[in-house]
């Protein structure tokens, strides 16, 4: 089976997962800018990975815009975010990325990454600082909000190769 893994990575977590998937499957692996220039018709499976962004995935519209063109191919998307794998909000967010029709054609997965402030764009850093400041200023914070402040106030890495296992299992079905 000819597979390609395409990724959009801001701070390196998504790229890391894309490389792990490519190595485990023998797939080609390209960043999104290179993939946009490539003819993908020879691939039987197209895997797209990107980072979580405001309840969706960064650059997901590129992938969604090609779903109908890739009819008959196995399509997989993986979203990399800062939340631990057991966060119940992840399932809700993933179900909102694709509409019902798209969900019949694309299987979506979540992989925990983390925060790397040193590699974030200035715009993203600024937005995170504002978000943290707003959370800290809130009166009567919930336990969840207090935990969030603690988590996102500095860089951390919770990525692990074990999180690609569900993707690999799905590929073997």
Over the stretch 29-67, which tens digit does the pLDDT of each residue have?
999 999 999 999 999 999 999 999 877 899 999 999 999
With CA atoms as reference, report the closest residue to 12 among 117, 85, 108, 119. Answer: 119
With CA atoms as reference, report the closest residue to 79 among 8, 11, 145, 139. Answer: 8
**Angle CA 64–113–139, to nearest 5:** 100
- pLDDT for 74: 97
State the DSSP code for 82.
Answer: S
Among 44-48, 152-156, 158-162, the minimum mean pLDDT is found in: 152-156
Over the stretch 58-96, which tens digit does the pLDDT of each residue have?
999 999 999 999 999 999 999 999 989 998 889 999 999
Whole-model pTM: value is 0.90
- pLDDT for 16: 98
For the chain, percent of residues with pLDDT exceeding 70:
100
Beta bridge partners of 79: 50, 110
| Helix runs in 31-109, H state only | 32-35, 60-66, 89-97, 100-103
137-153: string of b/e by CB count within 10 Å (b at 16+)?
A: eeeeeeeeeeebbeebe
With CA atoms as reference, report the closest residue to 76 among 47, 103, 50. Answer: 47
What average pLDDT does the chain have?
A: 94
Residue 140 — pLDDT band, cuts 50, 70, 90?
A: very high
- pLDDT for 169: 98
- pLDDT for 30: 98
Place of tokens 């402030």: 117
């Amino acid at each position: 089976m000819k597979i390609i893994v395409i990724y959009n990575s801001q701070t390196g977590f998504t790229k890391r997962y894309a490389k792990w998937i490519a190595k485990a499957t023998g797939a080609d692996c390209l960043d999104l800018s290179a993939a946009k220039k490539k003819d993908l018709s020879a691939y039987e499976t197209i895997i797209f990975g990107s980072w979580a962004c405001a309840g969706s995935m960064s650059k997901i519209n590129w992938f969604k815009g090609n779903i109908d063109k890739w009819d008959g191919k196995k399509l997989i998307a993986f979203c990399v975010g800062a939340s631990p794998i057991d966060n119940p909000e992840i399932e809700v967010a993933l179900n909102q990325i694709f509409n019902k029709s798209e969900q019949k054609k694309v299987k979506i997965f979540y992989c925990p990454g983390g925060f790397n402030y040193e590699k974030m764009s200035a715009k993203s850093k600024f937005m995170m600082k504002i978000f943290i400041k707003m959370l800290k200023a809130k009166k009567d914070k919930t336990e969840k909000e207090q935990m969030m402040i603690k988590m996102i106030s500095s860089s951390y890495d919770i990525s692990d190769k074990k999180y690609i296992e569900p993707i690999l299992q799905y590929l073997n079905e």
